[in-house]
Structure 1
């Protein structure tokens, strides 16, 4: 939508441009609020025609969330070691693999050799 500008922006000072921007933003907010009010009034009237309130109509369309993850039951508890190295170091099998196990695997050993 190409509109012909009523303003000569090149001839305006910084103060004039700033005031123009502020006025345009205020007018935009005013029109947006008027459109929102008009939409709410229209939807309220349509809901009333169906014998509903707008609040009941909007609230009825939002299903409750059922796929929310439950918190871990062992959160914050120490996990038993599943692997023990030759130097006594242990690893639960969670998180990053410890350096001692990585080094031993690089030497050709297998993780299952160190299972507790």
Structure 2
């Protein structure tokens, strides 16, 4: 078995880390594209069948209030493309708390 120097191993780790980040970015873009297609299809079906927001369970004061809060907070993107809106009630997502614990800042996750 061939031995590798620490510098060689660190270079390989860096190359793999860069490749991982590229793959994560590609996955996030593909997910966003797929979601866009699903949303477009859903909107077309809603229009075609004349479905109301209430029929979809999207009406009411609480839903409207939450939607307004979500729309106005800062947005953060996770490593797999998930979105979290700051200022909402509840815990921060695990990917965010782990990233912050690892030394990243909220700016690193800005969407």
When normalised by structure 2's length, the TM-score is 0.34
- Greater helix share, 1 or 2? 2
Larger of the two Rg values belongs to structure: 1
Q: Please, what TM-score do these two structures have when normalized by structure 1?
A: 0.32
Highest relative contact order (Cα 8 Å, sep 6+), 1 or 2? 2
